Amino acid sequence: MIDAIITEEILWVEETIWLSIDDCKIRQAVRIIIFHDNKIAIIKTGKWFLMIPWWWVDEWETKEEAAYRESMEETGCEIVNLRYLWQIVENRLRNQQIATTYAFIANAKNLGGLNLEADEIEEWHELIRMSLDEAYEKISELYNISQHKQWRSVSMREKIILAYVMENLENL
């Protein structure tokens, strides 16, 4: 079941482009809210942009395998108690992509640090920790002030995931 659909038509009506599904590359990603000591892991990119840790799913692996592998590779966090939340389908028309993001929640068995590649170091990636409420508030602020369409769509997706977890945390 698809729980949320983010489309460029909703955000930017003036950029609506009609494409056949055959013209689009299908991508899958995982996003994980990783808890440790009542705080979550957030990736800070550049001077101000914040996002939930995420990674592309390789063709040969399941979304759960990607979550475990990439959380360790990219954040240095060994995760336990991985729980699937739901999926978001994004229609990225400018890039001719349809991306399905599988949202998860997990606990960090241990905290590591980012394992950065050269381009990520140049973009100033940093792993930070903050409360769920603080992450939602800061990402909401970024959504409201950002003029960059891609960052606005990323911030919207992050807000949707964080809001869901905030509302349902006791049941997850």
The per-residue pLDDT for 9 is 41
Tokens of 32: 């994980």
Between 74 and 116, where is the model more confident?
74
Between 156 and 116, where is the model more confident?
156
Q: What is the pTM of this model?
A: 0.77
Beta strands 4-7 and 78-92 are parallel
The per-residue pLDDT for 65 is 94
The per-residue pLDDT for 2 is 43
Stretch among 53-57, 80-84, 101-105, 139-143 having the lowest mean pLDDT: 139-143
The per-residue pLDDT for 11 is 35
**% of the chain surpassing 70 pLDDT:** 70
Q: Exposed, middle or buried by CB within 10 Å (0-12, 13-18, 19+), for 72?
A: middle
The per-residue pLDDT for 34 is 93
Angle at 110 between CA 109 and CA 113, to 5 degrees: 140
What does the alpha-carbon distance between residue 111 and residue 27 come to, in Å, rounded to a whole number?
A: 28
Beta strands 4-7 and 25-36 are unpaired
Asked if 140 contacts 170 with a C-beta cutoff of 8 angstroms, the reply is no
Q: How confident is the model at residue 106 (pLDDT cuts 50, 70, 90)?
A: very high
Asked if 103 contacts 31 with a C-beta cutoff of 8 angstroms, the reply is yes
The per-residue pLDDT for 83 is 94
Asked if 153 contacts 8 with a C-beta cutoff of 8 angstroms, the reply is yes
